Structure 1
Amino acid sequence: MNFKELGLNKPLLRAVAEKNYNAPTPVQEMTIPLVLEGKDVIVSAQTGTGKTAAYALPILQLLFNRQEASKKGKKIRALVISPTRELAVQIQENFKEYSLYTELTSTVVYGGTAMEPQIAELKKGVDILVATPGRLLDLHKQDVINLDYVETLVLDEADLMLDMGFIDDVKKIERLCPSGKQTLLFSATIPYKVVQLTNSILKNASKVNVTPTSLAAARVYQLLYFTPKPNKIELCLHLLRNTIKGNILIFRRTKHGVDKLEETLLKNNYKVESIHGDKSQDDRQDALSRFKNKEANILIATDVAARGIDIDNLDNVLNFDLPNIPETYVHRIGRTGRAGQSGTAYSLCSADEKEYVISIQKLMQKHIDVVEDHPFPLDPKAKPEVHKRKGSKHKKGRKSEASKKKKKRWY
């Protein structure tokens, strides 16, 4: 199938052709017709499946067909909510590229940066707004944003949005939009929290399920290294010196872990950048740009910071810490091996992470190759480390008033 068969108009087809997209991905093929029909849609699809275009293209088409002649006083008619700033910026870039040959305008608003330039943009009038929940509600409170004319509401990465505690904000935003709007919900996984949300805000929604677990596995060569936890840093350095070629995205579970590894690699003269939630928006954006421009060949990130970020031609992914959610592993390795390219995913596994490997292999229905020939092997009999709590096994509770009175005073 090609994009023309999906019923897209000439300006959009021209923009898509310039991006060198020849054929729609499965998620685009299934979602675009449903959105064009005006239906509410729930899409289960991971990053890297082409889901942004799956809603951006039909939204642009619908808005194009009902375009108002005057540029002045444009109303926000499509609203996309994204959990992270990076993803919001990227979604807006996609809208800009696809709407190149139309008169449709879009802008992005997010926290952690000055409001004034964003307010100035909004006052010019836009058709499409991409926003993070907090900043959107702040601007709405100031009467800068009017959501009375929203025809399509998109909730992107809904599972992450709920994990980050945005559930009340999302519901508030949904209530601020007209009741007759079309709602599209995209989520990598569909946990119970997402099901509850969809039941409360979507009407007779069509479901699209694209599970690219096998796809990710097909294009990515996966390798597993069992090693004691204290040796992970040395094994990581060993792989960087002897095995890994090209650029690499390294995942760590915590912000502290990201900082610690970055410090070590910088001491060893590697060109490293890092992104996590405690860094300012500008710092994160700069780090990402330097990595994309090849000024650094190593980027270390937490899952939340890296969610939704597109890096073209990523050669390798390294799971320094294995995730406890198997879908997260598929997300991570799906960053490489995109658009027909191949890539390699390396995973370092300590004794306490062995159970994660079992659930990852079960989800992917694939056995990950184990590399045994390396300098820091894990003893097969090694037990997971148990961190003993120091001090008394009896919890020190607060003393009752009665016991305080009984106590003999020296005064």
Structure 2
Amino acid sequence: MPRSESSFALEDRGDYAAFLSGFVEASPSSYHAVLTAAEVLVASGFAFLEEGSPWPAPAAGEGAFIIRDGALIAWRAGADLAPDSPVRVLGCHTDSPGFALKPQPDFSAEGWAQAGVEIYGGPLLNSWLDRDLEFAGRLVTTDGMEHLTRTGPVARIPQLAIHLDRDVNSGLALDRQRHVQPIIGVAAPDVNGIDTPSIVELLARGAGVATVDIAGIDVRLSDTQPPARIGANRELLASGRLDNLSSLAAGLVALTATEPAPGTVSVLAAFDHEELGSETRSGASGPLLADVLTRLRSGLTSDLDAREAVDAAARAFAESWCLSADAGHAAHPNYPEKHDPRVRPRPGAGPILKINANQRYATDAHGAALWRRLCDASGVSGQEFVSNNTVPCGSTIGPLTATRLGIRTVDVGVPLLSMHSARELAHIDDLHGLARVTAAFFSGE
């Protein structure tokens, strides 16, 4: 396969930071993220397959991918495949918490033109105030065609001035309906007599379609400030959507830069709607990954009878692994009491192994041993994360994948500050380290 920009990023932390930054900037929605990933895959020699068309059997060294809405599954076959060849899956998600455009979104108040939005997932609401925002996502026209769109910076959720709320620094309480509706202009013609276009008109312009032809809208708000390397030694990356485009980028780089271990298939599974619980046709609780693996397996078991094919698939899953990669929490210097007293992920100390006794994460002792081997093989320092007993943790696609497929699963990720903020913070070594460990996972080191 040809080498793409992403494959070179595996070798150098600076190149990796630049690749990740560009990937995030090009991906303001889950639909944009999978298209951007598809462009990287095609540049690396992967073939796009339609779900409704026949697929060829996996062949050594060849790669392919499918897209379902805001989800993408890509795979690359190793040499010497057999009916019982296992898979090595890097699972992640494409969506991030924020705001989604409501139906009939245009309204006005106090002379301002506004767009109605609904909260998507669990964002840190205050972090979205007074930022330059854009609308981005997909439009479906009356002919059934899908069109991606992004408006550029047109919106802002304005905070109330301190003069009108003298107690704001003692505690900010945002009403989830009244206080988070963005403005997009003025409600009446301005001094030059120019009308403010509706948000639907702006979206239509971005997609190059007629407003009257729009039949469906799946659109999110996104912060337009580009990622930036900051810190005294520029060792930190400040960016939106690191949860969880940091994991998608790591899997993408690893998949395109490494040859799968002989007798295995490397798989990148990027699901949508994790921030909502994953219970959609493109989410980890849906049938997408199971369907793809079944179709790939059928190409390897075509010469077997039904009983032999079922047996081969069971043996393959018994030897398969999934790394569920999602962001985790770095120890916060200003809120140390929120973390476990002893297990405290540090910036630059490497990606994290996520552990939870109540199986909010799927890691077990065998998974921890695999993680240790992969970190050693890739020359990356690893560290552990576990929650403070008084601060319950979230969950990931890991337990969902383990439950649906029975594949042994390990939860890992990059430690962040300000998770679910409009702008999160991570150490470049940790971001790059996740890609390097994933490459070792795929190559069987």
Same topology, TM > 0.5 = no
More strand by share: 2
Question: Which of the pair has more CA radius of gyration?
Answer: 1
More helix by share: 1
The two structures have a TM-score, normalised by structure 1, of 0.23
